[in-house]
A and B are shown apart, each in its own frame.
Chain A
């Protein structure tokens, strides 16, 4: 097991290495550099600028610069944002929390609703199926637009603009926070729901005719025991894999939803950074999103290993 998990981590590290090169290339390929923008600053003379420039050693080889960049990244120094005049780390940290919160809310909502709806037996299952087919054929951006439109019509939950710098400071803020979270989280949930529903429905269908489940039913175990002790564990494996894979699509969806609903996450910041050519913010944002995705996959692997004794036995 230790070995197979080590291979997983090695693969993740290789992927991270490739992604880091991508982000590094992004920063290098951007037209102009930090100093071009710095030279527009009225408070800096050309001499000071040259001194800074020499300090940073632009003639170093690409590999050297890459290593220096990686070392800085590992120390949490992601460079300076040119547009906001602050360190990228300080700019991104609260935003990442907000994005994770929104994504996790969407994730939890979709999985909870998906598992519950998929467990509905009999004739109502057809209704659920039709619902998932309908949601499936509405693309995520359109779904978000529709929700926004409906909410604006009802005036119930006008999208609130939040102060990006303070995600959670007091309980008074928490109330507004949850209210602002509700609508974008619903958009994420509805966008992700059909995927969960499809896989959960087919998984439960297969699990219910599994010999172990049939035996449990024949023995007269109460339905909830059958569900929680037999059907869920039987159907869990593909769903856990889906959980890991789905994180990426959820992060992507959250990017658009955040911009649309004005949620102060990574999305609006990244968009502004692109429009203002603030490339170091873009590079850091992409790297962090990849980091979240890769760790999500690793967590799913770990969950799978914890859940399925066969995997543990095979590798032991």
Chain B
């Protein structure tokens, strides 16, 4: 199996997980359970306590030791049959119900354990990943669009706009981007409603991330300007708008796509940093960075290593994204033009790209 295929499968898995988060998460991410703090990941088994085979999986639920915080006895765990495809009501609004992949008779199975407040880590991982990806994808999209507009304007219009825009880009790139991210974030109010805070997180990253792609796209637009087809279009009296839309945009699209795939992992890392610092996503919303903020209690991550689940979830995702970024920088992905190229058996072009930049 080629690495590209592995990456495709991984991306598909993550997409399904996040699209159907309500189904795959087994509990509400904000639902607390004071009786089960720091519960270790729970196993399932197929034999009953008497050793008989049991087709329905049994959840091994350890009993809390009375009088101790977050201590669970190894002896005689309760074996609770799992039920699949269950409708569960949400805790704060009984009228909304979610179809969950599985549940036990009174509550949820904690396959990845629980956190300090007895919230299910697996469910938080699924919902948190969804929000992290939503933020970073929308920020990357916005940044790429701005970069495309700036790149075309700077690369195609006169030298005045070009040098003005490029000085702005240079100023943005002269500050290390995490410093700039924090500086811009400092301008905005710290306490805001959770949804607003998440949107601000995306906005701030987009407001900073456009500079580098804009510089690269400007170079490509500048090169395209000197090409024969643009000269021809200008000679036939095409308006600048027409040239930008029908000649420059298609020429820059593959490069813009590469820049987009480079921005996504950078922005995921940015979201993690912001939320870890307490400047990003806040309760009751959950994101990966927000979950990792639990690591600020250093002793907690040694004692309860399952709290670090987002880290393990991130590595395959980043691996897949990097494969795609590499791929899209060497060949153009499936677009209309690549389909026609395939149709007419034309050779693939190598698109110039930049190696991903780490923050």
Residues of A within 8 A of B (CB): 11, 14-16, 18-19, 22-23, 26, 29-31, 136-142, 145-146, 148-149, 152-153, 159, 191-192, 195, 198, 248-249, 251-253, 255-256, 259-260, 270-271, 273-275, 277, 279, 282-283, 285-286, 289-290, 293-294
9 nearest CB pairs, A to B? A18-B171, A252-B178, A251-B176, A137-B319, A252-B176, A274-B186, A139-B269, A289-B179, A290-B175
Which of B168, B182, B277, B298 makes the CB contact (< 8 A) with A282?
Answer: B182
Contact with A along B273-306 (1 / 0, CB 8 A): 1001111000000000000100100100110010
Which of B170, B174, B179, B315 makes the CB contact (< 8 A) with A252?
Answer: B179
Is B182 a contact of A141 with CB atoms below 8 Å?
A: no
Which of B186, B279, B301, B314 makes the CB contact (< 8 A) with A152?
Answer: B301
Is A289 a contact of B322 with CB atoms below 8 Å?
A: no
Which of A15, A140, A255 makes the CB contact (< 8 A) with B358?
Answer: A140
- Complex-state Cα separation, A227 to B180, whole angstroms: 40
Is A259 a contact of B277 with CB atoms below 8 Å?
A: yes
A-B contact pairs, 26 of them (CB 8 A): A15-B167, A18-B167, A26-B187, A137-B318, A139-B265, A139-B269, A141-B276, A141-B292, A148-B295, A152-B298, A159-B298, A191-B358, A249-B176, A249-B177, A249-B358, A249-B359, A251-B176, A259-B276, A273-B186, A274-B182, A286-B182, A286-B183, A289-B175, A289-B179, A293-B174, A293-B175
Residues on the A chain within 8 Å of B178, using CB: 251-253, 255-256
Is A145 a contact of B167 with CB atoms below 8 Å?
A: no
Contact with A along B177-205 (1 / 0, CB 8 A): 11110110111011000000000000000
Is B314 a contact of A22 with CB atoms below 8 Å?
A: no
Is B273 a contact of A29 with CB atoms below 8 Å?
A: no
Is B66 an interface residue, CB under 8 A from the partner?
A: no
- Closest CB in chain B relative to A190 CB, distance in Å: 11
Is B36 an interface residue, CB under 8 A from the partner?
A: no
Contacts A140-B358, A274-B279, A277-B190 supplied; 11 other A-B pairs, CB < 8 Å: A22-B183, A137-B319, A141-B272, A145-B295, A145-B311, A252-B179, A283-B183, A286-B180, A286-B182, A289-B176, A290-B179
- Complex-state Cα separation, A87 to B168, whole angstroms: 31
- Closest CB in chain A relative to B288 CB, distance in Å: 10
Residues on the A chain within 8 Å of B182, using CB: 255, 270-271, 274, 282, 286
Decide if the interface of chain A is mainly helix, strand, loop or mixed.
Answer: helix
Is B187 a contact of A146 with CB atoms below 8 Å?
A: no
Is A286 a contact of B179 with CB atoms below 8 Å?
A: yes
CB-based nearest A residue for B314: A142
Which of A145, A253, A270 makes the CB contact (< 8 A) with B292?
Answer: A145
- Complex-state Cα separation, A286 to B318, whole angstroms: 29
CB-based nearest B residue for A274: B186
- Complex-state Cα separation, A145 to B302, whole angstroms: 12
Is A26 a contact of B183 with CB atoms below 8 Å?
A: yes
Is A19 a contact of B359 with CB atoms below 8 Å?
A: no
- Closest CB in chain B relative to A198 CB, distance in Å: 7
- Closest CB in chain A relative to B186 CB, distance in Å: 4
